[in-house]
Every structure is written in structure tokens, then in C-alpha cells.
Structure 1
Amino acid sequence: MISAACSFAIVAISVSILLNVYRLVAGPDATDRILALDTMVVNAIGLIVVAGIMFGTAIYFEAALLFAMVGFVATVAFCKFLLRGNVIE
């Protein structure tokens, strides 16, 4: 039963990633593209966690945590670049 739920979750998250790719390509401005990238990071974290549940190992959860930290820093850097024009002051 858990494998069927994990398979359904993988399909649903993959569809949402495809929709994020569409928003990334067709976004009218840079802010929409940054939000699409941030949402894609969240979806990738979801895929990693579902893979961890499916395979029953804890290493995927640590990878998801590291990916979340890197994704947060990247989003903050992109937003700071849009607001000020530079990342490092």
C-alpha cells in the first residue's frame, strides 16, 4: 500500500515540476522565474523525501535538508540581486 502511495506522490510531484518548468520558461518577469525556481526546489525536496520513504533509508532525509538550505540561500541571493543589483556588498 505504501508503494502505491509513493508512486502516486512521485507522479503528482513530477507533474507539478513540469508545470514549474512551464512557468520558468513563460514567466513574464524575473520575479515569476525566481518563484518558479523556489517552488521547483520545494518539489525536488518532496521527491527526495518520497524516495527516502520508498527505499526506507534515512540518508535521503539528510540530503533533503541540505538541498533545502542551499535552495533557501539561492532564493535569497536571487531576490537580493533583483532588489539591489549585487549580491555581495
Structure 2
Amino acid sequence: MIATACLIALIATSVAILLNLYRLAIGPDVTDRILALDTMVINAIGLIVLLGIYYGTTIYFEAAMLIAMVGFVTTVAFCKYLLRGNVIE
């Protein structure tokens, strides 16, 4: 039962990532593209957690934590670059 639920959730998350790619490609503004990248990172984290549940291993959860930290830092860096023109002051 859990395997079927994981497969359905994997398919839904994959569709969400594809829709994010569409928004990333045609976003009318740079802020829309940054938002699409941030949402794609969140969907990738969900995808990795679902794979960890499906395979029953804990290494995927550690990878999801690392990707979450990197995704947060990159989103902050992109936003700071848009506001000020440089990342490091």
C-alpha cells in the first residue's frame, strides 16, 4: 500500500517539477524565474524524501537536508544579487 502511494506521489512531484521547468523557461521576469527555481528545489527535496520512503533507507533524508540548505543559500544569494548587484559586500 505504501509503495503505491509513493509511486503516485512520485508521479505528482515529477509533474510539478516539469511545470516548474516551464515557468523557468517562460517566466516574464527574473523574479518569476527565481521563484520557479526555489519551488523546483522544494519539489526536488520532496522527490528525494519520497524515494527514501520508497526504498526504506535513511541516506536520502540526509541528502534532502543538504539540498535544502544549499537551496536556501542560493535563493538568498540570487535575491541579494537582484537587490544590490553583488553578493559579497
Distance (Å, rounded) in 1 between the aligned partners of 2:68 and 2:85: 25
Distance (Å, rounded) in 2 between the aligned partners of 1:79 and 1:35: 10
Distance (Å, rounded) in 2 between the aligned partners of 1:84 and 1:28: 21
* 3-state secondary structure, aligned to 1:88: coil
1:6 equivalent in structure 2:
6
TM-score normalised to structure 1 length: 0.99
Residue type of the alignment partner of 1:34: I
Distance (Å, rounded) in 2 between the aligned partners of 1:58 and 1:11: 21
Residue type of the alignment partner of 2:8: F
5 Å-filtered alignment, 1:1-89, equals 1-89=1-89
Deviations 1:12-71 (A, max 9, x none): 000000000000000001000000000000000000000000000111000000000000
TM-score normalised to structure 2 length: 0.99
Runs of 4+ in 1 over 3 A off after TM superposition: none
Residue type of the alignment partner of 1:23: R
* 3-state secondary structure, aligned to 1:28: coil
Aligned residues: 89
For the aligned residue pairs, the C-alpha RMSD in angstroms reads 0.3
